[in-house]
Amino acid sequence: MNNKKKRIQSIDLLRGLIIVIMALDHTRAFWGLTPFSPTDLSQTDTGWFLTRWVTHFCAPLFVFLSGMSAFLYLQKCGSKAQLRNFLLSRGLWIVFLEITLINFSWQFAFNAIFVQVLWIIGWSMVILSLLIYLPRYLILVFSVLVIALHNGLNDLWMAEHIGKTTWSFLHTQGWMPIGNNGFGIFVMYPLIPWFAVMALGYSLGNWYLLSESSRFQYLCFAGISSILLFLLLRIFVGYGDPIIWQATEPNSFLLLLKTTKYPPSLQFLLMTIGPGLIALALLEKTQQIIEKNNIYQWILVFGKVPMFFYLLHVPLINLSAQMYTWLRFGEAINFNMVPSNHWPTAYSPNLLIVYLAWLMILFVLYFPCRKFSQYKQKNKNAWLSYF
């Protein structure tokens, strides 16, 4: 029982770390939006680049851990039918939240529908609810092939033959207008290969049935191998990402890290999931040493109620940023939705303000998240599992 508890806590802790880093990215989007992309090496600096780059770990690791958690749920309930129903219902619920409450939270309006990370998590759960009936090794092979080969797809050819709209939902970002009033859907997170990332997590979930020493070896080996394969592809081969690295380019080290997220390339996933696997191993190995640390306990709280945190943090960041701009510049501006030529003339992006606002957001959200986590532990209502 203790071993099982430790395993679950290590996953929750990594998920909590992801949540904390994710909040940094969203705080930056409202409190420190720049007129240039933070990863545009021709305009950005190291601070803005790394602040954005570190948040790249969030989506792939959260999707991957969702797959692992699905496998552990199966071990708990012992029924694939029950797991199927849970994945199907929870996936559709998450999709509903994405296109309703979450979209409103980002805009405080419905000027458009942004298809983002919750969308692909929800639909990946729906797909996984079908894949679980396959042998686990087939799920593993299928997910690895999708992740490894999707960069070889010809997006132009596919869009021409199956339709631009359909292919935008599947593999490319795209804007789809609805009517003539400027409303539409912007696909930020296409489905391929995200569903395969979740399936990969599910197929590797059986590592948590092994002994702690064996699991540590598997996680470290897979993580180190992923990083080495990333470096091999990035430096020597050139496959697995549209952005080619060249040692002679300015900021060549930052360019080494600049991989493609939309859709996530093979190199992007190797670069993010690899360190995540090592982190899982190390967090479990050092759990007894760090579990009495207050920061550990704070992060663990966030990891236990990720959906609850997500529903709260976006409107809080949005509202606080608008209050800040009203107090500072005399007008409330939702920077994330307003073109730069409409920003207050006195505004300039400040990375220090971003980090201070981020810490403030985490401090405020800790207390309701802790209360809700305690409530979930005391009450076993089925609906609580959807948050």
Tokens (6 digits) for 304: 């236990």
Q: What percent of the chain has pLDDT over 70?
A: 95
Helix, strand, coil percentages for the chain (3-state, nearest 5): 75, 5, 25
Opening angle at CA 67, ends 228 and 86, nearest 5: 175
Cis ω before 263 (30° cut-off from 0): yes
pLDDT at 228: 98
pLDDT at 289: 66
Q: Give the mean pLDDT of 258-282.
A: 97
Cβ pair 174, 165 in contact under 8 A? yes
Residue 16 above 60 pLDDT? yes
Q: What are the sequence ranges of the domains in the chain? A: 2-386
3-state helix/strand/coil string of 222-246: HHHHHHHHHHHHHHHHCCCCCCCCC
Q: What is the dihedral of CA 103, 69, 279, 309, to 10 degrees?
A: 30
pLDDT at 364: 97
pLDDT at 247: 84
Decide which of 334 and 183 is more confident: 183
- Residue 288's pLDDT band, with cuts at 50, 70 and 90, is low
Q: Give the mean pLDDT of 245-270.
A: 93
In tens, the pLDDT along 145-190 reads 999 999 999 999 999 999 999 999 999 999 999 988 889 999 999 9
Question: Which among 363, 73, 333, 40 is positioned nearest to 202, based on CA atoms?
Answer: 73
pLDDT at 5: 44
Q: Starting at the edge strand that comes first in sequence, how are the strands of the sheet with 184-187 ordered? A: 113-115, 184-187, 174-177
E strands present in 157-278: 174-177, 184-187
284-289 long-range contacts, CB within 8 A, separation 24+: 284/6, 284/7, 284/10, 284/212, 284/215, 284/216, 285/216, 287/6, 287/9, 287/10, 287/13
Tokens (6 digits) for 212: 């702690």
What is the residue-averaged pLDDT of the chain? 92
The listed range with the strongest mean pLDDT (55-69, 315-329, 338-352) is: 55-69
Distance between start and end Cα atoms, the chain: 25
pLDDT at 338: 67
The CA distances from residue 181 to 31, 107, 334, in Å, are 29, 17, 21
Residue 279 above 50 pLDDT? yes
In tens, the pLDDT along 177-232 reads 998 888 999 999 999 999 999 999 999 999 999 999 999 999 999 999 999 999 99
- Residue 8's pLDDT band, with cuts at 50, 70 and 90, is low
Predicted TM-score of the model (pTM): 0.94
